[in-house]
Amino acid sequence: MNDLYDRHRAVLPDWLSLYYEDPLEITHGEGRYVWDAAGRRYLDFFGGILTTMTAHALPEVTKAVSEQAARIVHSSTLYLNRPMVELAERIAQLSGIPDARVFFTTSGTEANDTALLLATTHRRSNTVLAMRNSYHGRSFSAIGVTGNRSWSPSSLSPLQTLYVHGGVRTRGPFAHLDDAGFVAACVEDLRDLLGHTRPPAALIAEPIQGVGGFTSPPDGLYAAFREVLAAHGVLWIADEVQTGWGRTGDHFWGWQAHGRSGPPDLVTFAKGIGNGMSIGGVIARAEIMNCLDAHSISTFGGTQITMAAGLANLNHLLDQDLQGNARRVGGLLIERLRAVAARLPGVREVRGRGLMIGVELVRPGTDEADPRAAAAVLEAARERGLLIGKGGGHATSALRVAPPLSLTVAEAEEGAALLEDALRAAY
Ligand code: PMP
């Protein structure tokens, strides 16, 4: 039936995770919509957090990429690279990190890998703290700090990693506590760990866990952690691969929900900033960024073509106030989905911020996570012309909604109605 799928299976690794029983081939897109190989149109409620921060086929990005391709793409780092310097200046200024330096990579994995290299070298320790249920990428070091076991396929990491409670507010041993009690219990857990281990180099954490199902701790958790970490000289790496660039609406960076914490020591970013062009990167104070004591280069991290795309995309995001759009349209979508949840006993909660919304599914009448329902809703939504994602911790039981940040009110209404219909069909 699906010839491309047969060919995929014959030549690509078994461990690549594909959505849908009959996997989808997306052939083109525009705005918030994409089309498959058969010409069917889908409202894209997931691509925003993957490749496409602003909109599919954004004309400004297409123009910047084709003009740069027609001029030059050469080594990123051996020669002066004007678009790289310009994008680094913009990002350093937006980061809130004093005396910030930016290093560009080609992916989020490589960004976290670099952040771990910097932190462990700076602190001369290969012990690292990470959050339970976290996801930080697929490389040897990134899987070593990935607490979500189903995405950490090897246990031979060179890092000594200790996992901290706090990333998931609604499940686990502290779930019954109120927000202040939850934060206090997690801080106690962190203190306890620090008392029983060699001094760690860093804590790496996603402000809102992405692959983990869009779960977030109470605001202020990382501010409370920061005090304890700072007292022990432990650096804080915020993995903003999913939460950066205004996606959460109220804030430009996810860490800002924790206000008092101040900017992290290192921030990593990737995914949609290139709107399809592969950009990742690390931001850190000069003192940390410059701690490496030998030369380094990168052929593709920060090529002229990806940087031109990033600049055009970032300008569009800021000019159009897409962060404000995420706040307004995301707020409305959360409201709509909460109304749907109130009508359906299988929806345990609708959580999130801006255009990063998680819908947790349970077996109706119980508190038991329901990964089969999540898979069924994904299929039913696709049949109705809506693409969504899924995620979760011990079970993949959350739906993930993350459209491009330019989503309109009409599209939010359309998507909420399609999702309600899909939920009803799947239950
Ligand atoms: N960090 C987080 C929080 C992510 O969600 C991801 C990707 N899902 C990564 C890192 C890795 O990024 P990439 O897939 O670009 O390597």
| Per-residue pLDDT tens over the stretch 90-104 | 999 999 999 999 999
Cα(106) to centroid of ligand 1, in Å?
A: 11
Q: Is the pLDDT of residue 427 over 90?
A: no
Higher pLDDT, 407 or 259: 407
Cα(155) to centroid of ligand 1, in Å?
A: 19
Beta strands in 74-210 (DSSP E): 100-105, 127-131, 160-164, 202-205
Cα(34) to centroid of ligand 1, in Å?
A: 22
**Ligand 1 binding pocket includes 107 (Cβ within 6 Å):** yes
304-319 helix and 322-343 helix, angle to the nearest 10 degrees: 70
**Ligand 1 binding pocket includes 112 (Cβ within 6 Å):** yes
Confidence of residue 1 (pLDDT cuts 50, 70, 90): low
For residue 112, the ligand 1 atom closest to its alpha carbon is 10
**Ligand 1 binding pocket includes 206 (Cβ within 6 Å):** yes
Return the residue whose CA atom lies nearest to atom 1 of ligand 1: 136
- H-state helical runs in 128-253: 140-143, 179-195, 221-231
**Ligand 1 binding pocket includes 109 (Cβ within 6 Å):** yes
Pocket test for ligand 1, best of 49, 109, 269 (most atoms within 8 A of CB): 109
Q: Which residues are CB-neighbours of 48 under 8 A, at least 6 positions away?
A: 247, 272, 355, 402, 403, 404, 405, 407
**Ligand 1 binding pocket includes 239 (Cβ within 6 Å):** yes
Cα(112) to centroid of ligand 1, in Å?
A: 9
Q: Is the ipTM of this complex over 0.90?
A: yes
Under 8 Å between Cβ of 371 and 395 = yes
Return the residue whose CA atom lies nearest to atom 14 of ligand 1: 108
pTM: 0.98
Please give the Cα distance from 78 to 84 (Å, whole number): 12
Confidence of residue 215 (pLDDT cuts 50, 70, 90): very high
For residue 270, the ligand 1 atom closest to its alpha carbon is 15
Under 8 Å between Cβ of 405 and 48 = yes
Please give the Cα distance from 395 to 391 (Å, whole number): 8
409-426 helix and 322-343 helix, angle to the nearest 10 degrees: 30
- Amino acid code (one letter) for 157: S
Higher pLDDT, 202 or 171: 202
C-alpha distances in Å from residue 280, one per residue of 8, 50, 121, 142, 284: 27, 12, 20, 14, 14
| Per-residue pLDDT tens over the stretch 233-273 | 999 999 999 999 999 999 999 999 997 778 999 999 999 99
* Beta-strand relationship, 356-361 and 127-131: unpaired
Apex 110 CA angle, 107 and 115, nearest 5: 125
What mean pLDDT do residues 311-315 have?
Answer: 98
Cα(108) to centroid of ligand 1, in Å?
A: 5
- Give how far the C-alpha of residue 102 lies from the chain's centroid of Cα atoms, to the nearest Å: 19
**Ligand 1 binding pocket includes 215 (Cβ within 6 Å):** no
Q: Is the pLDDT of residue 353 over 90?
A: yes
Return the residue whose CA atom lies nearest to atom 10 of ligand 1: 136
- Give how far the C-alpha of residue 405 lies from the chain's centroid of Cα atoms, to the nearest Å: 14
